[in-house]
Amino acid sequence: MEYQKNQYITLEVEDLGSEGEGIGKIDGYPFFVKDALPGDIIRAKVMKTKKNMAFARLEEILTPSSTRINPLCPHARRCGGCQIMELSYDAQLAFKEKKVKNNLLRIGGVPEDVLARVYDGIIGMESSADENVPVRYRNKAQFPFGKNKEGKNICGFYAGHTHSIIANTECYLGVEENEVILETILSYMEKMHVEPYDEETGKGLIRHALLRKGFQSGEIMVCLVINGKKLPGQQVLVDMLTKIPGMKSISISVNEKNTNVIMGESYEVLWGENVITDSIGSVQFKISPLSFYQVNPVQTRRLYETALSYAQLTGKETVWDLYCGIGTISLFLAQNAKKVYGVEIVPQAIEDAKQNAKLNGFTNAAFFVGKAEEVLPEFYEHGTVHGELVEDVDASAKSPDVIVVDPPRKGCDEACLSTMVSMAPSRIVYVSCDSATLARDIKYLREHGYELEKVKACDMFPNSVHVESVVLLNKKKATDFVEIGVDAEDYYSIKEK
């Protein structure tokens, strides 16, 4: 049957797509419906049809799924942040586990029996009894400012896939202090007649507020991103904000460009410190408004502890930590390794990493700025980084015991993977925020002498569709199969049986 735009259909939703959209089929033809959940029977309006699929809009839930819950946040559907807040937490975790497993099976070509053996579960997050899902887990939030239709100053969040701002100073993913801070900024703006930035005209001053709180330290940072060099009546704002307990740092960051990038290139302190301090486990970090820092510290600690246990360090090992950011994983590893080398593309992050190493008294960590896929091959082939000989490296740097990678969503470049294989570490620990590219890279590593040993998922972003994973790959031992006289594939298939 042909479907027409604006036609109404009744649909039984069976599955959840990777972006959290409900999927149901009529005579084998799939409809994708935002906000619909598996188990829902819905009435939907066809919005767009394609050869192999169609998009429809949820009009009415005729029979709700048993996994459907009332979301805490009244904005859950419109907001771009939480795609699956209406799904019970158990079902959220099951969805994420399935996503990771399916990618490993389909994209990674991991045999089902291997996956069954190595899959190590998902680290879910606890929520308190009066919440049905984990909330208030984010230590960082960035809120845009603008005007509503009536011309009133507002601050809130972008509706999904748009730049229109919905007024809401109370996001359940952030800390409770955020609301007070945002309301304070709005009342300062009213008092001092300060205008919010308008993307269309390029006029107006206040663009975004970046808010951060150290969960261990309780220290709070506010950084206002402004389209201008100065904040009129800044002392008024400072006086208002410093009444909030925990306030440690107030700054501005100038961004006068017509761009989607939120922060400016630098920042200027108006009051207090230029950084806040926080710790993950027993490692301390200084965090500036421009630093990358994991947003869910509770789950980050669990993720890093898993990565550390997979690395199986005894204190004698040489380790590379590629895509190291401000050295969070590197310093976690440095607690138990002989030497850790970190590589990261953002120069400021490497500066932070070096400072953080000093702050914690680690003398066994070294950091290099650059692309992992350039630094690692150059170092392996020539012993240099950016053409310069690297001092302070052990002989073992070219043949490390462990390589840890934590790449962005696009995964590792093949030049990086092939050098990793040449360096032949006993273990590779792969931390990933995108299980599709993880699966692709695992396929490469499995084809080049590594065997999948453990896979664990970790829910760093409850109520969103994102899932983090950590994977351990072991180097296949040549002696294992030489002695037995079969090749590696045969050997492992024998061993698995």
Measured from the CB atom, is 269 or 298 closer to ligand SAH? 298
**Extended strands (E) in 50-164:** 54-63, 119-123, 140-147, 153-158
**How many Å apart are CA 439 and CA 453, to the nearest integer?**
14
Angle, nearest 10°, between helix axes 414-423 and 435-447? 40
Least gap, CB of 19 to ligand SAH (angstroms): 21
Q: Which segments within 187-273 are labelled E, that is strand? A: 206-213, 220-226, 247-254, 268-272
Residue 346 makes contact with ligand SAH by CB under 6 A: yes
The residue within the footprint of ligand SAH, chosen from 211, 357, 372, 439 (CB under 6 A), is 372
Element (H, E) at 132: none
Residues touching ligand SAH, count (CB under 6 A): 18
Q: Using the rule CB under 6 A, is 349 a contact of ligand SAH?
A: yes
What residues contact 58, with CB distance under 8 A and at least 6 apart? 22, 33, 34, 35, 36, 42, 44
Interaction pattern, residues 392-411, with ligand SAH; x per rule: CB under 6 A: --------------xxx---
Which CB, 38 or 297, lies closer to ligand SAH? 297
Name the residue nearer to ligand SAH (CB basis): 173 or 369.
369
* 103 phi/psi in degrees, rounded to 5: -65, -40
Q: Using CB under 6 A, which of the segments 83-91, 191-199, 279-287, 365-373 binds ligand SAH?
A: 365-373
Tell me the CA distances in angstroms from 177 to 52, 221, 351, one per residue in order: 47, 11, 30
The smaller minimum CB distance to ligand SAH, of residues 348 and 474, is found at 348
The whole-angstrom separation of Cα 46 and Cα 57 is 6
Instruction: Tell me the window of 228-236, 341-349, 377-385, 420-428 that interacts with ligand SAH (CB under 6 A).
Output: 341-349
* Residue 178 interacts with ligand SAH (CB under 6 A): yes or no: no
Q: Does 342 contact ligand SAH by CB under 6 A?
A: no
Annotation says 433 is catalytic: yes
Beta carbon nearer to ligand SAH, 135 or 404: 404
Using rule CB under 6 A, residue 292 touches ligand SAH:
yes
Both tokens of 465, joined, read 């569709």
DSSP 3-state of 179: helix
Distance between CA atoms of 238 and 145, rounded to whole angstroms? 18
Query: If binding is defined by CB under 6 A, does position 263 make contact with ligand SAH?
Result: no
**Is the Cβ of residue 323 or residue 481 nearer to ligand SAH in the bound state?**
323
Closest residue to ligand SAH using C-beta atoms: 325
Point out which residues pair with 314 in neighbouring strands: none
CA R_g for the chain: 25
**For 177-293, where are the alpha helices, taking DSSP H only?**
177-192, 234-241
Smallest separation, CB 371 to ligand SAH (Å): 4
Does residue number 448 form part of the binding site for ligand SAH (CB under 6 A)? no
- Applying CB under 6 A, among 325, 400, 425, 462 the residue interacting with ligand SAH is 325
> For residue 341, what are the β-bridge partners?
320, 366
CA angle at residue 458 from 455 to 459, to 5 degrees? 150
Note whether 329 binds ligand SAH by CB under 6 A: yes
Asked if 371 touches ligand SAH (CB under 6 A), the answer is: yes
* By CB under 6 A, residue 344 contacts ligand SAH: yes
154-162, 184-192, 338-346, 352-360 -> range binding ligand SAH (CB under 6 A)? 338-346
Using CB under 6 A, which of the segments 67-75, 84-92, 344-352, 360-368 binds ligand SAH? 344-352
Does position 378 bind ligand SAH by CB under 6 A?
no
Binding to ligand SAH (CB under 6 A): which residues in 304-323?
A: 323
- Residue in the structure block whose two tokens are 């930590």: 321
Provide the 10 A C-beta neighbour count for residue 134.
22
Contact region with ligand SAH (CB under 6 A), list: 139-147, 182-190, 342-350, 486-494: 342-350
Q: What CA–CA distances, in Å, run from 432 to 122, 312, 316, 435, 473?
A: 14, 19, 26, 7, 13
From candidates 92, 103, 294, 469, binder to ligand SAH by CB under 6 A: 294
Does 324 bind ligand SAH (CB under 6 A)? Our answer is yes
Q: Is 266 exposed, middle or buried (0-12, 13-18, 19+ CB in 10 A)?
A: middle
Q: For the chain, percent helix, then strand, then coil, each to nearest 5?
A: 30, 30, 40
Q: Which stretch binds ligand SAH (CB under 6 A): 198-206, 207-215, 261-269, 366-374?
A: 366-374
Residue identified by tokens 């761009």 is 259
Residue 259: helix, strand or coil by DSSP?
coil
Choose between 184 and 330: whose C-beta lies nearer to ligand SAH: 330
Sign of CA dihedral 440, 442, 446, 447: positive
Q: Which stretch binds ligand SAH (CB under 6 A): 54-62, 213-221, 340-348, 477-485?
A: 340-348
Q: Which of 178, 255, 328, 364 binds ligand SAH (CB under 6 A)?
A: 328
Binding site for ligand SAH (CB under 6 A): 292, 294, 323-325, 328-329, 343-346, 349, 371-373, 406-408
What amino acid positions are annotated as catalytic residues? 433
